[in-house]
Structure 1
């Protein structure tokens, strides 16, 4: 059983790619890196990107810094957090709800204004303080769901800031990699340019943020210069970037949304772009034969179905959840994807400090899967009907239509009658926070949203605790069990590494045993690039550093 990709038809796709990319005489004199993204639109550029973590990858990290950054400098080990705009941080010895961050001196925003503690407070307020003049509701969902315990910020002095959490939270430094620092001075200037006829304070703030998106100012290695929604976004090198080791080697980066895998592949093969995310697997041999380079690396990234536990969902029955996980031959799917995936045993693999040795083994066992479904009351004559919400493309979604159609066929062997509900990626992603009971879920019993497991909050807690129930975070299916709240609380409030790892292993063990997901694949982050692109470091991370890359002259 194989679902094949359509062949790459260059003649038709050339017109699409050509319409999306034009090269000016100015660009011909520059080192220009052109990237074909999987997103259908340009991720937001105002400092808190949408479009999932593809937004962080392409309009977050290049233009902005956080207090804490990811180390993307190596290929042979997991990415870890490193100092960003904060040189150091520590939790208060007597009050574990308070953290003190020492800031990096001498950093300037793209508009020339200084980065300092006041700027940190301002950026916390933009998503947490509804009374702040610059509060922006559109930035809240993509930010607060990723750092739900942060409560407030206070400047101690110009280069020292205190952050307060609702509860003790040993994961706060990791969570802060998602809070990018935008320029308060630049925003205030743009607010002053809003027409006087706009009198409502909220409307004025929204207009200033819209202007900021078109003319952004962060502290990062690239500076945004041109935004055409749904078509392109251009960034130029920040030659004054504070980290001299990461000053860009290319002059300009052009982002192009190309959500269809064959169109992306054709754009690469025809020379319209230099780099594509998630190429069509059937075209990998053609890509490499033509001299392009493929980059892959195992990532802490999960491609799942996340089950609903709402009344009436068949996945309330653990036997059905286990059966789904035992029914699919993931090695066959890996072959279909030309090897561009890893076979999962859970969210984390055996040998990982958070593995925990679960008693339920995720594997292909058709006989046991059918037995469990029979015990649950289903058969070939009485299949269970399930609806799954997915997208046609998007950040980390790999090849969602092909993969979901393969699952649809595979699960028939275990008496599942699967209906696929395909929606636009950002709508599916937004529904992830709205929950299984919302109109946006369209009555789905499962949702297909991929996720990064680089840190324990992202990988586990936001899916299995009441604190993460929609709209706070991503417990889409309302998986609510007291035991999991207790396990998560223990891990979050443990500040020594060994103790925290033990607590997280206990949590992962129980997650796998209860199976709130159908674990389908781990991504390897496949991207194909022109041989002209040099200095590529493909880390074991969801993200990648563009600053290391260069363009070799010539064709």
Structure 2
């Protein structure tokens, strides 16, 4: 600061002393305020976790929690189910229900947790649980959770008393408690004619603010029935580019970023973890030349999946053996990866050709651009391998809408034989969410099935316990040994970026359900 010119008279000196006193007082006051502001800002920053997603959630409606971008924010953070599945062990644990039992062939009875409050202060009880289930299954609500986890099953509910709920299904359902883990419980005041923007649940965090196109935030719910989470505020941001998401963490603009590729530059902040997402090629097994089993086997032998695991997927993951991954009820551990054997593939194609199979018929690979990192390159490798084996193959990459036309029934019928680039994940933890839909004769994402496999799937769906596990494993073995509709590739790994201020162990469900209560402040 520039000095005031001195005046050599006594009165001015006296004035200057008084002025200095005033200035010093003002400076001290300003500095104290600044220090207080910095302290508050630092405290607020330390109490906030910033998470950067790939996409902005289209909605925070809890019954849309099976949508990836919605579920990442809502599931187990804002809204909770009656039960909760442990993604690592597959165990079904208590949540808003403490106990449950099958009291008849078609009825399950749930004992509900006492002393739970919703974010609006109202009490959680059996009426709210019944209302939430019925609301999620209303046709006019068109909730994703209904179609994905309940299908055509008819469900009725009854609040026996405040702490007891009965749920009855039209046909016996041995995994109903698992299905209900995907239904977020909301108060009876929640609109049942339209999806809500600001959800109310019982979770450890409550909705705070949503600036559309910019960010949304949650805050800790002080009356939460369980253990209080470490972070008081959660701020969600979104950036479409993986390199930008990674840089936000390395530059301390975010604390956690998901859906990264190894080349996105997360550096020391990168954390790799397992997923249950399986990549594969789905064959049109009912159309020549793919209707010949030898050709389908040749496709499997011709794919160097070990090489693609190391190149396309940067060594993250493991070779896939089946659509139902490890850790999911029904997974068959006896099924092994197909070996890479180009000579065997060529021999099978030659044998089929000698028997009149039209192996020169053009087979189109239907790919999806950006489905996973280096997706285009992966399909080029598949094309080259199958061409070397003796097939006539071309690649057609498209956007998600074009790809969906070939994934979902009814598929175009004037197209010729296809190999569809596929990726399937089973976050629900039971093979029933994979088998009929993806491998059954009438499944919405199935290109081929048989009566024999349909019967095996149907028998497994009504079984329970070890019998259920064994029945689904048998159906998967039948698919692998007798039908060979798919060419399995890689069970992929995933990468996120994590700030050193946060302790967090991702699970196979992290890409769909990211529990902020499992994130802790790192010990200095």
Q: TM-score interval w.r.t. the shorter chain?
A: 0.7 to 0.9
Match of 2:225 in 1: 242
Distance 1:485 1:103 in 2: 37
| Cα distance in 1 for residues equivalent to 2:394 and 2:235 | 39
Alignment of 1:78-157 (within 5 A): 78-92=89-103, 95-130=104-139, 135-137=140-142, 139=143, 141-148=144-151, 150-155=153-158, 156-157=160-161
Question: How is 1:298-309 mapped onto 2 (pairs within 5 angstroms)?
Answer: 298-308=274-284
Instruction: Point out the more displaced range, 51-60 or 82-91.
Output: 51-60
Query: Which residue of 330, 340, 359 corresponds with 1:364?
Result: 340
1:456 alignment counterpart? 431
Q: 1:461 to 1:88 in 2, by over 3 A?
A: farther
Distance 1:387 1:432, change over 3 A: closer
Residue of 297, 305, 308 corresponding to 1:333: 308
| Counterpart secondary structure, 2:154 | strand
Helix, strand or coil: the match of 2:121?
Answer: coil
Residue 224 of structure 1 corresponds to which residue in structure 2? 207
2: CA distance between counterparts of 1:349 and 1:126?
32
Measure, in 1, the Cα distance between the counterparts of 2:270 and 2:176.
Answer: 37
Alignment partner, residue 77 of structure 2: 62
Alignment match, 2:52: 36
Shift of 1:506: 0.6
Task: Verify the 8 A CA contact 1:491 1:504 in the aligned structure 2.
Answer: yes
1:522 is displaced (CA, Å) by 0.9
1:270 Cα deviation after fit? 2.9
Give CA deviations for 1:451-470 in whole Å, capped at 9, x if unaligned: 1263222343432235x633
How many angstroms apart in 1 are the aligned matches of 2:406 and 2:357? 31
Instruction: Provide the C-alpha distance between the structure 1 equivalents of 2:365 and 2:243, rounded to a whole number of angstroms.
Output: 27
Contact between 1:120 and 1:153, CA under 8 Å: does it hold in 2? Answer: no
Q: CA deviation at 1:228?
A: 4.2
RMSD: 3.6
- Paired position in structure 1 for 2:27: none
Residues 354-375 of structure 1: per-residue CA shift (max 9 Å, x gap): 41645x8522122222333344
Determine the structure 1 residue equivalent to 2:296.
321
Alignment equivalent of 1:343, drawn from 301, 308, 319: 319
Q: 1:518 pairs with 473, 477, 487, which one?
A: 487
Instruction: In structure 2, list runs of 5 or more residues that go unmatched.
Output: 1-39
Larger mean Cα displacement after TM superposition, 247-256 or 379-388: 379-388
**In 1: Cα distance, 2:412 partner to 2:358 partner:** 31
For residue 538 of structure 1, what is the aligned residue in structure 2? Answer: 506
Distance in 2 between residues matched to 1:57 and 1:445, nearest whole Å: 31
SS at match of 1:448: strand
d(CA) in 2 for partners of 1:442, 1:41: 38
User: How far 1:235 moved relative to its partner?
Assistant: 1.8
Structure with bigger strand share is 2
Q: What residue is the counterpart of 1:492 in the other structure? A: 461
User: How far does the alpha carbon of each residue in 1:367-407 deviate from its partner, in whole angstroms, 9 at most, with x for none?
Assistant: 222333344549999363314242525xxx56644544544
Q: 1:498 to 1:550 in 2, by over 3 A?
A: closer
Structure with bigger gyration radius: 2
TM-score by length of 2: 0.78
Question: 521-530 or 381-390, which moves further after superposition?
Answer: 381-390
Deviations 1:162-197 (A, max 9, x none): 222232222222222222223331437xxxxxxxxx
Change (3 A) 1:162 1:375: farther
Cα separation, 2, equivalents of 1:370 and 1:105: 66
Q: Distance in 1 between matches of 2:260 and 2:119?
A: 34
Classify the secondary structure of the residue corresponding to 1:342: strand
Aligned to 1:179: 183
Tell me, what secondary structure is at the counterpart of 1:450? strand
Q: What is the distance in 2 between the residues matched to 1:28 and 1:324?
A: 57
Distance in 2, Cα, partners of 1:553 & 1:354: 38
Residue 65 of structure 1 and its aligned partner are, at CA, apart by: 0.7
Change (3 A) 1:178 1:349: closer
Higher RCO (C-alpha under 8 Å, 6+ residues apart): 1
Structure 1 CA distance for aligned equivalents of residues 205 and 131 of structure 2: 22
Displacement of 1:279 after TM fit?
2.2
User: Residues 330 and 521 of structure 1 are in contact (CA less than 8 Å); yes or no, is this contact kept in structure 2?
Assistant: yes
Shift of 1:509: 0.5
CA shift at 1:101, angstroms? 1.7
